[in-house]
Amino acid sequence: MVPLAVACLPTLWNSPLNPLSAATPDAPPPDGYRQVLLVDDNPTNLQVLYQALEEQGYELLIAQSGEEALEIAGAALPALILLDINMPGMDGFETCRRLKADERTRDCVIIFLSARDGVRDKVEGLRLGAVDYISKPFQFEEVVARVNTQLELKRAREELITLHRKADSLLLNILPRSIAERLKEDERNLVEHFPEATILFCDLVGFTPLAAKTEPAEVVGFLNRVFTTIDGLVEKRGLEKIKTIGDAYMVGGGVPDPRPDHAQAVADFALDLVEAIPAMREAESLPLALRIGIHSGPVVAGVIGEKKFAYDLWGDTVNTASRMESSGATDRVHISGQTRDLLGDDFEYEARGSVDIKGKGPMETFFLLGRK
In the chain, the percentage of residues whose pLDDT exceeds 70 is 91
Are 334 and 325 in contact, with CB atoms under 8 Å apart? yes
Per-residue pLDDT of 99-110, as tens digits, reads 999 999 999 999
Mean pLDDT of 44-62: 91
Residue 138 has pLDDT above 60, yes or no: yes
**pTM, two decimal places:** 0.65
Per-residue pLDDT of 250-274, as tens digits, reads 999 999 999 999 999 999 999 999 9
In the chain, the percentage of residues whose pLDDT exceeds 90 is 58
Q: Which domains does the chain have, with CATH numbers?
A: 29-170 (3.40.50.2300), 187-371 (3.30.70.1230)
Mean pLDDT of 173-179: 78
- pLDDT reported for residue 11: 36
Buried b (16+ CB within 10 A) or exposed e, 260-282: eebbbbbbbbbbebbebbeebbe
Give the integer Cα–Cα distance in Å for 188 and 351: 45
- pLDDT reported for residue 23: 38
Residue 331 has pLDDT above 80, yes or no: yes
- pLDDT reported for residue 2: 40
Among residues 61, 115, 109, which one has the least CA distance to residue 91?
115
Per-residue pLDDT of 211-251, as tens digits, reads 788 888 888 888 888 899 999 999 999 999 999 888 899 99
Residue 194 has pLDDT above 80, yes or no: yes
Give the integer Cα–Cα distance in Å for 161 and 158: 5
How does residue 184 score in pLDDT terms, banded at 50, 70 and 90?
confident
Residue 14 has pLDDT above 70, yes or no: no
Strand partners, 368: 333, 349
Give the integer Cα–Cα distance in Å for 277 and 290: 8
CA–chain centroid gap for 130, Å, is 28
